[in-house]
Amino acid sequence: MKSFEKLAKTIAAFDEGSKEYDSWYKSPEGRVILKSELLAVKALLPRGQGVEVGVGTGVFASELGVEFGVDPSTKCLKIAQKRGIKVICGTGEALPFKDGSFDFMLYVVTLCFLADPKGAFKEGSRVLKPKGKIVVCFIPRDSPWGKFYLEKKAAGHRFYKHANFYTSKEVGEMLQRAGFIPEAQICTLLQRPDAVTNIEKPLRKGCELAGFCCIRAEKACRLKL
Amino acid sequence: MIKREDLKKKPIDPELLKILACPVCKHDLKLKGNELVCVGCGRRYPIKNGIPYLLPPELSL
């Protein structure tokens, strides 16, 4: 039950701060970070029918052409709906979709807010078609950016005080335990987190230095014996 | 893009309804008025302004 209490607090924080969260992407720093992150996600984005889990206000889904979005914050979803996303109020841990509904699932800075990441990835696998893809984008804990956000968490930041951060190795292992085979990795934001000036092209290496790392993995097929 | 007039006709996008399932037991959902009802466990989920509220019971509004 503790995980639901934690999740309820995270949802309340995003409901209260939905406009602040959305307007940050329009700030000079937010625009540069968003454009860099979009380039990275685009490099790994699969084709077909997709859903963004933790769609928030729909900034990424609308820019990337992801049709569906699920999130437990209703205030954020109303903004995402205005951006043209087909939205559903639900959680990543208990996805309200039929088995085998999607070609791909996208999680952009959602993992850190999940109460049960392993359970959520298993749910992701369930709603994916055979050989469907999962793309998980996160702030690596061991990078300078990870340390920057850990400081925000420690200082009681509105959103990040609820977050748990992971290294790229941990995320890869988590995906494997949930039945995925990692196949590609990309990262961006190698500039310092306190002095962001340039839109960056994504790189295949350097996750331990990056502010934004994406791992794409394929749903493993189960052999019928 | 969801148009306001479409929402008046149907409480939920038909494409969305095709893929939705009960978040608890994962059975199909049937549209009844402004609610989605699970054909498996009978749980009822509201639709408000075109958004289906499919939270697990521990987080329900």
Inside any domain, residue A215: yes
**Mean pLDDT value across residues A69-93:** 96
Q: Residue A145 pLDDT > 90, yes or no? A: yes
Is the pLDDT higher at A17 or at A34? A34
Q: Which among B26, B28, B55 has CB closest to A90? A: B55
> What pLDDT score does A7 carry?
84
Inside any domain, residue A131: yes
Separation in Å, CA of B60 to nearest CA in chain A:
10
Q: Residue A207 pLDDT > 90, yes or no? A: no
Inside any domain, residue A105: yes
Inside any domain, residue A163: yes
List the B29-32 sheet strands across, edge first.
B29-32, B35-38, B44-48, B51-52
Number of domains in chain A: 1
Segments forming the whole domain that contains residue A154:
2-219
Burial class (CB in 10 A: 0-12, 13-18, 19+), B8: exposed
pTM over 0.95: no
The pairing of strands A212-219 and A180-188 is antiparallel
Inside any domain, residue A29: yes
User: The domain that contains A52 carries what CATH number?
Assistant: 3.40.50.150
Phi/psi-derived region of residue A163, left when phi > 0, alpha when psi is between -120 and 50, beta in every other case: beta
**Mean pLDDT value across residues A176-204:** 94
Place A221 in a pLDDT band, splitting at 50, 70 and 90. Answer: confident
Inside any domain, residue A224: no
Tell me, yes or no, if A74 comes closer than 8 A to chain B by beta carbon: yes
Tell me, yes or no, if A72 comes closer than 8 A to chain B by beta carbon: yes
> What pLDDT score does A56 carry?
95
Nearest-10 crossing angle of helices A2-16, A74-82: 50
Inside any domain, residue A83: yes
Verify whether the Cβ–Cβ distance A96 to B23 is below 8 Å. Answer: yes
Q: Residue A224 pLDDT > 60, yes or no? A: no
Inside any domain, residue A225: no
Chain A hits for B50, CB-CB cut-off 8 Å, are 81
Nearest-10 crossing angle of helices A168-177, A117-127: 50
> What pLDDT score does B14 carry?
86
Verify whether the Cβ–Cβ distance B23 to A91 is below 8 Å. Answer: yes
Token readout for A225 is 């014996």
Instruction: Report chain B (61 residues): mean pLDDT per 10 consecutive residues.
Output: 58 90 97 96 95 90 57
Q: Which among B15, B24, B49 has CB closest to A94? A: B24
**Mean pLDDT value across residues A8-24:** 87
Q: Which among A1, A86, A93 has CB closest to B16? A: A86
**Mean pLDDT value across residues A117-122:** 95
> CA A131, A132, A135, A141 torsion: positive or negative?
negative
Phi/psi-derived region of residue A212, left when phi > 0, alpha when psi is between -120 and 50, beta in every other case: beta
Verify whether the Cβ–Cβ distance A98 to B23 is below 8 Å. Answer: no
**Mean pLDDT value across residues A185-196:** 92
Phi/psi-derived region of residue A175, left when phi > 0, alpha when psi is between -120 and 50, beta in every other case: alpha
Q: Residue A13 pLDDT > 90, yes or no? A: no
Is the pLDDT higher at A164 or at A20? A164
